[in-house]
Amino acid sequence: MTTFKLEDYDVSREWGFLPTIPPASVQLPQAFQQVQETAALLPKLLITGKIRSALEDLTFVDADKEKLDQMQLGRLMQIY
């Protein structure tokens, strides 16, 4: 019988599949500052109907050119 280790699947006994470090606390490179600020404003933008123009104003950031670790990539998945 094969024994599986939880950590081989990024699962912990305490947190399950959730990350052990809250993604919102992860620092992203400065190139993503505008994206983070816009993501924080999304609820307000939705209510005011200004979301489309805010998203169209975002500057393109090539994530492939940035040196990102797994936690940073996880954070980007949340805010993009």
Predicted pLDDT of residue 1: 78
Q: What is the pTM of this model?
A: 0.70
Mean of the per-residue pLDDT values for the chain? Answer: 89
Residue stretches of the chain with pLDDT short of 50:
none
Predicted pLDDT of residue 6: 85
Q: Which residues contact 67 (CB under 8 A, 6 or more apart)?
A: 29
Closest by alpha carbon to 68, among 59, 79, 57, 56? Answer: 79
Tell me the per-residue pLDDT of 61-78, one tens digit each, with 9 for 90 and over: 988 888 999 889 988 888
